């Protein structure tokens, strides 16, 4: 075994001794509805609930039981806890639920480690939305960190929602963390999202979308919060709270109490012993590894970009892009050059973050300033996006697209080098109460035109038809002359000449800019990019984010606000108050009209980028009237939760919720 592997194993072992500690069921929340006084029915409830004990952990952390065909009970344990903790939580919840909801036909109990509920109706395989609850920490991040914290959390929940929804019939679970860079501070957000595994993929996604929306409403800037539904939950914190990996086996039986007691004793005593011995062993191994490197006993070979393509099975993409391997390899930088350029990836050089790592400012030996995107080693999706972005962007040449200068894939490092764009990103100016005054109407009009031309190039004018899939304000960079440059092609997809629609089971991107057909069904096309473009246009005009993650509860979301002003004959009321003078009324109204045309629910009704450019440049064209936009991800986020326990209904009538990445390409 390699010394480096031994070090990692020892470190993991020592850390896990301290982290794998049972989290007690430190609270209980109960919701009850539909009164009943029938003793027989009460007996069925008790029988159904008590039959859950002893079966939940042995069935992978989820189990359902029915008594006399009248009452069904279910129990879900957190996917990261052990079988003993699971059974303990269920046994605690059942008598408490009976005690707190003694005369009801339906009830739910939420604990830290489990959800237990019963109903007189069918609840297995059914998305239940009759109630929810939330808890949050009273502490908040500093005011200057709120935006960065919120956008990073939103981005993380999008990924975890997709991960959980794509889980199997035993467990639908997603957990992970994201690093927040802003205001000179670096902090980590940890999050877990889980559904009952009896739900379909679509049901799980809807449930977790609702939980994400509630987090945005109640807990903006809070350092920790939880939202519970009968079928799912979301929890996040600035402290590590989950075990990794999940501990409950789908086939393993719960441990005996005796064995459990022994295990707990070991957890207390062994860390002290192992910690001391482990540090000594690690020190020796590190010394040997350093000596081995200095003595050149072995050299790690640079992995060529072509082999990385083969690893990721991206041959079809390579062929489609017409990339010659020799040409691609000419773009390769060695790691030592990048380390010198960024002062060994100094935190002082950090200028932003993306979905897969941090971005640094660097200076090459020839004096050229560059933006260096370094993919983190823990990025599960990073390799594919690295290949995707390098192959795509290296062949894209347009003044409104960020230029890729090269890449580095050496040892475990995966690095992309871009031209440095000094004015950072559009959101840096647009949503900053001080900076947005620098964006007069002339600059905003110029930015809209630049984004239009860049997207038209991607959709129609390049040799490939490329769907960006993550167009948003933070992915539009501004050069020294405030020209717009589209960045971040990590999620982009190539379309064939005759292809018009793509599908994916892995929903990734930014909720505030997602079209309804993509967010709900995974369908993407040039028209889903057009939807994102429309959101950006309305944001530029109004100076407001399209996101409930960033709005207070009493502030109306952007799309319904724009529609209200438009149908009320007062479109200029949407205009950013900072634009008090020197703007063109006709241009503003035209942009609002175009923005609303782009965010129509019917994808076919949205204009193409070529039509949009024509609309912007030709004032003689009479623009069509837009139809009402789909507010499908706000005000209930896919599901309209009225709060009334007796109502349970679904609407596809809500608006988007946004997450943004920072300043430079992901």
Whole-number Å distance between alpha carbons of 386 and 404 = 12
Q: What is the pLDDT of residue 381?
A: 47
> Which tokens is 194 given?
């889980």
Q: What is the pLDDT of residue 465?
A: 77
Q: What is the pLDDT of residue 324?
A: 43
Neighbour count for residue 617 (Cβ, 10 Å) = 10
pLDDT in tens, 504-558: 555 556 778 888 887 777 778 899 999 999 999 999 999 998 864 444 545 678 9
| Burial letters 254-272, b for 16+ CB under 10 A, else e | bbeeeebeeeeeeeeeebe
Mean pLDDT on 131-151 = 84
Least confident of 75-89, 408-422, 647-661: 647-661
Cβ atoms of 255 and 173 closer than 8 Å: no
Whether 121 has a pLDDT exceeding 60, the answer reads yes
Q: What is the pLDDT of residue 362?
A: 94
Q: For residue 270, what pLDDT band results from cuts at 50, 70 and 90?
A: very low
Q: What is the pLDDT of residue 510?
A: 73
Q: What is the pLDDT of residue 318?
A: 44
Q: What is the pLDDT of residue 388?
A: 63
Least confident of 15-19, 37-41, 365-369: 15-19
Whole-number Å distance between alpha carbons of 233 and 210 = 10
Whether 245 has a pLDDT exceeding 70, the answer reads no
The CATH homologous superfamily to which domain 305-419 belongs is Phosphorylase Kinase; domain 1 (3.30.200.20)
Q: What is the pLDDT of residue 664?
A: 32
Mean pLDDT on 155-159 = 88
373 labeled binding residue: yes
pLDDT in tens, 43-72: 888 888 988 988 898 888 999 988 776 789
Owner of token pair 């019917």: 602
User: Partners of 418 in the beta sheet?
Assistant: 371, 404
Domain ranges of the chain: 24-271, 305-419, 426-617
Tell which residue, 593, 618, 616, has the closest CA to residue 606: 593
Q: For residue 370, what pLDDT band results from cuts at 50, 70 and 90?
A: very high
Tell which residue, 73, 117, 78, 66, has the closest CA to residue 230: 117
Catalytic residues: 470
Whether 635 has a pLDDT exceeding 90, the answer reads no
pLDDT in tens, 206-235: 999 889 988 888 888 899 999 999 999 999
Whether 269 has a pLDDT exceeding 70, the answer reads no
Whether 255 has a pLDDT exceeding 60, the answer reads no
Q: What is the pLDDT of residue 113?
A: 92
Whether 419 has a pLDDT exceeding 80, the answer reads yes
Whether 265 has a pLDDT exceeding 50, the answer reads no
Helices and strands (H, E) in the chain, number of each type: 18, 21
| Burial letters 512-531, b for 16+ CB under 10 A, else e | bbbbbbbbbebbbbbbbbbb
pLDDT in tens, 601-621: 999 999 999 999 999 998 888
Whole-number Å distance between alpha carbons of 198 and 370 = 49
The CATH homologous superfamily to which domain 24-271 belongs is Gnk2 domain, C-X8-C-X2-C motif (3.30.430.20)
Q: How far lies 528's CA from each of 115, 500, 542, in Å?
A: 37, 11, 22
Q: Which long-range contacts (CB under 8 A, 24 or more apart) does 120-123 make?
A: 120/34, 120/36, 120/41, 120/70, 120/71, 121/72, 122/72, 123/64, 123/72, 123/74, 123/230
Can you name the CATH fold of 426-617? Transferase(Phosphotransferase); domain 1 (1.10.510)
Q: What is the pLDDT of residue 33?
A: 83
Neighbour count for residue 136 (Cβ, 10 Å) = 16
Cβ atoms of 148 and 230 closer than 8 Å: no
Least confident of 210-219, 246-255, 369-378: 246-255
Whole-number Å distance between alpha carbons of 170 and 482 = 51
Mean pLDDT on 19-44 = 66
């Amino acid at each position: 075994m390699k010394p480096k592997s031994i070090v990692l194993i020892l470190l993991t072992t020592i850390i896990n001794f301290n982290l794998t500690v049972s989290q007690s069921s430190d609270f209980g929340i109960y919701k009850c509805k539909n009164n009943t006084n029938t003793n027989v029915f009460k007996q069925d409830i008790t029988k159904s609930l008590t039959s859950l004990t002893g079966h939940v952990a042995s069935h992978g952390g989820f189990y359902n039981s029915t008594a006399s065909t009248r009452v069904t009970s279910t129990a879900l344990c957190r996917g990261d806890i052990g079988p003993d903790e699971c059974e303990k939580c269920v046994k605690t919840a059942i008598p408490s639920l009976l005690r707190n909801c003694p005369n009801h036909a339906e009830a739910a109990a939420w604990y830290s480690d489990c959800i237990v509920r019963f109903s007189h109706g069918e609840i297995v395989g059914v998305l239940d939305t009759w109630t929810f609850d939330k808890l949050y920490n009273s502490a908040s991040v500093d005011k200057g960190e709120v935006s960065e914290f919120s956008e990073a959390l939103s981005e993380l929940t999008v990924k975890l929602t997709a991960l959980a929804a794509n889980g199997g019939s035993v467990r639908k679970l997603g957990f992970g963390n994201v690093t927040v860079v802003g205001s000179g501070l670096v902090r980590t957000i940890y999050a877990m999202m889980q559904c009952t595994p009896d739900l379909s993929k679509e049901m799980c996604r809807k449930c977790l979308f609702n939980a994400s929306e509630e987090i945005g409403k109640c807990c903006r800037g809070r350092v920790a919060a939880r939202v519970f539904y009968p079928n799912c939950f979301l929890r996040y914190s600035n402290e590590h709270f989950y075990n990794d990996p999940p501990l409950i086996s789908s086939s393993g039986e719960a441990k005996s109490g005796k064995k459990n007691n022994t295990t707990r004793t070991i957890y207390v005593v062994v860390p002290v012993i192992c910690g001391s011995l482990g540090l000594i062993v690690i020190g020796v191994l590190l010394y040997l590894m350093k000596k081995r490197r200095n003595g050149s006993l072995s050299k790690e070979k640079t992995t060529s970009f072509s082999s990385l393509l083969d690893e990721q099975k991206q041959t079809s993409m390579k062929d489609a892009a017409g990339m010659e391997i020799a040409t691609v390899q000419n773009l390769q930088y060695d790691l030592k050059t990048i380390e010198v350029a960024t002062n060994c990836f100094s935190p002082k050089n950090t200028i932003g973050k993306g979905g897969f790592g941090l971005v640094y400012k660097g200076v090459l030996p020839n004096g050229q300033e560059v933006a260096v995107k370094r993919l983190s080693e823990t990025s599960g999706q990073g390799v594919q996006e690295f290949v995707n972005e390098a192959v795509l962007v290296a062949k894209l040449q347009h003044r409104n697209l960020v230029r890729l200068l090269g890449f580095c894939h050496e040892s475990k490092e995966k690095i992309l080098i871009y031209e440095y764009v000094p004015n950072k990103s559009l959101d840096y100016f647009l949503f900053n109460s001080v900076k947005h005054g620098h964006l007069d109407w002339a600059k905003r009009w110029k930015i809209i035109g630049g984004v239009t031309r860049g997207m038209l190039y991607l959709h129609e004018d390049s040799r490939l038809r490329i769907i960006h899939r993550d167009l948003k304000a933070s992915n539009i960079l501004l050069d020294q002359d405030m020209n717009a440059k589209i960045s971040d092609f990590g999620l982009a997809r190539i379309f064939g000449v005759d292809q018009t629609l793509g599908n994916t089971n892995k929903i990734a991107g930014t909720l505030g800019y997602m079209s309804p057909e993509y967010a709900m069904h995974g369908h993407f096309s040039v028209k889903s990019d057009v939807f994102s473009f429309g959101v950006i246009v309305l944001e530029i005009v109004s100076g407001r984010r399209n996101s409930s993650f960033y709005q207070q509860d009493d502030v109306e979301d952007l799309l319904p606000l724009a529609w209200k002003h438009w149908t009320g004959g007062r479109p200029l009321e949407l205009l950013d108050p900072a634009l008090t003078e020197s703007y063109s009324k006709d241009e503003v109204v035209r942009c609002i009209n175009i923005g609303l045309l782009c965010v129509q629910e019917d994808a076919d009704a949205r204009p193409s980028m070529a039509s949009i450019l024509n609309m912007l440049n030709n004032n003689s064209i009479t623009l069509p009237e837009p139809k009402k936009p789909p507010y499908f991800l706000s005000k209930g986020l896919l599901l309209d939760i009225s709060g009334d326990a007796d109502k349970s209904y679904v609407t596809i009538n809500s608006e988007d919720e946004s997450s943004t990445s920072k300043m430079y390409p992901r």
